[in-house]
Amino acid sequence: MKARFGLVILAVGICLSNSGCKGSMELNELHIVHTVGIDVGQNNGIKITAEIAKLSTSGQQPKGMQDKTFYLSGEGSSLFEAARLMRTKSDRTLLWGHATVVVLSKAIAEQGIGKHIMALRRLRQFRNSTLIYVTEGKASEVLEATMPNASITSQALRGLSEGGESTALTEQETLIDVYEDLTNQYRDVHLPAVQLIEDPSGKKRSLLKTIGLYAFDNDRIAGYMKFKETKGYYRTMGKMSGSVETIPCGQNQTITFENTGNKSRVKTEVDVNGNPKVRIEINADLNLVSIQCDVKDVTISTIAQWENELNKAISDNVEQFIAFSQRNNSDLLGIKERIHRKYPKRWRKMKDSWDEIYPTVGFSVEVHSRIDHSNFML
C-alpha cells in the first residue's frame, strides 16, 4: 500500500513541477489536502478540518512523503469562507484537488447536506470520485484516529469501505453519486457510516470502523441502517455478493453459506384506487461452506429444506429494510421515480403528498434461493 501511495505522490510531484497543475509553484510552496472533515462551528457556522501529509523537497532528508500528517482548520459561515480562513493559518497554498475523502458529522447531516455537496461541486478542484462518509460524532476526531496500516485517514477509509462492500456491511458513495441523487431526485441519498471504536488491545486510542448506512429524507439524515437492514438493501438492489448467510441448526450452532449471485426485480404498480403496490422478487445463489451441527448426509431433500430456511432469512432482512425505509420516509429504492416513469398522469396527482403516501405503500417480497454447490455432498 505504501509503495503504491509513493508512486501516486511521485506522479503528483512530476505533474506539479512539469505540467503546471498549480502554475509554476514548487512542492515547498504547497500543502496537499488528503482528507476533509466538516463539522458544525460556532454560532451555527461551518468548521473545516484538513488532514495534510508532510512533504519534503528533494534537498531535504528524508525525501518525499513522510509517514506523518498535520491538521489545519477554519471556521466560517460557509464552506468557501471556512476554507479561505484556513489559508490564513498556512504558510503555503492549499491544494484541494487530491482530497479523496470528505467526512461529514451527523450534526451537519441533520441540518441538510445539499448546500455543502453543491459547494464542493462548485470548487473545481474536488474530484467526482471523492468519497463521502458520515460519522456520529465530530468529523475532526475521525481524521485524528489511529490507523495501524495506513499513514493517512483517506487510505484507511477507502480500504475499510472496500472490505465492507464484500461483506454487505457498507458501500462507497462518491461526490458525483450524492450530487446526482440530490439533483435528479431519483431516489433518496444514503451514505456509509464511519465509527470511532476503542482499541481492543487496551491501548488508549481510537480506531476506525465502517459499518452500516445513513439514510436520508431528501437532503437531511433520517436514520441509521444497521447490519440486517443494510443487507436487505443490498439484496433489493441486486448488489449482494461475497457475504454470508447463516441458518440455525442446533443450540448455538449454524450452517453457513456464501453468496455467489443475486438478482433482484422491483415491480411497481398502481391499483384502480390509486394505491401504489411494489413487488420485490429475488433470486439468490449460494454455496454451502460450513456446518457446525451433526449432519450425516447432505441429500437433495436436506438442501431443499435449507433453501426454504434461506428464503425466510433473506425475506426477513428485506422486510426489515422496507420497514426502516417507510418508518423514516427514506425512498432509497426510488419508488417515486418508478411510478413517475410508468404512470406519469397518476404521479402528478400523488407527487405533492408523496411523503404521506410512501409509508403506506404495500410491499410484497418473494425469494428463491438456490444452493449450487456443496463440498459436503456424499
Surface-to-core class of residue 86, CB atoms within 10 Å of its CB (0-12 exposed, 13-18 middle, 19+ buried): buried
pLDDT confidence bin for 103, thresholds 50/70/90:
very high
- Sequence ranges of the domains in the chain: 30-54+68-225, 226-377
Whole-number pLDDT of residue 134: 96
User: What's the pLDDT band for 61 if we cut at 50, 70, 90?
Assistant: very low
Check whether 21 has a pLDDT greater than 90.
no
Contact between 244 and 254 under an 8 Å Cβ cutoff? The reply is no
User: E strands, the chain, where?
Assistant: 21-24, 30-40, 46-56, 64-76, 93-95, 101-105, 131-135, 190-198, 206-217, 220-225, 244-250, 253-270, 276-291, 362-374
Biggest alpha carbon distance in the chain?
77
pLDDT: is 92 or 79 the higher one? 79
- Quickly list DSSP for 349-377: HHGGGHHHHGGG-EEEEEEEEEEEEETT-
Distances (CA, A) of 285 to 201, 262, 311, 372: 38, 6, 11, 7
Please compute the mean of the pLDDT values over residues 244-266 and round it to a whole number: 90
Report pLDDT for 375: 55
Inform me whether the pLDDT recorded for 220 exceeds 80.
yes
> What predicted TM-score, i.e. pTM, was given to this entire model?
0.84
Structure confidence by residue, pLDDT tens digits, 148-190: 767 788 888 888 888 777 777 888 999 999 999 999 989 999 9
68 phi and psi angles, rounded to 5 deg: -140, 150
Cα gap 132→192, rounded to integer Å:
8
What is the C-alpha R_g of the chain? 24
- How much is the pLDDT for 64? 47
Does domain 226-377 sit in CATH 3.30.300.210?
yes
Average pLDDT, the chain: 85
3-state SS, residue 3: helix
CA distances from 146 to 157, 313, 378 (A): 12, 37, 49
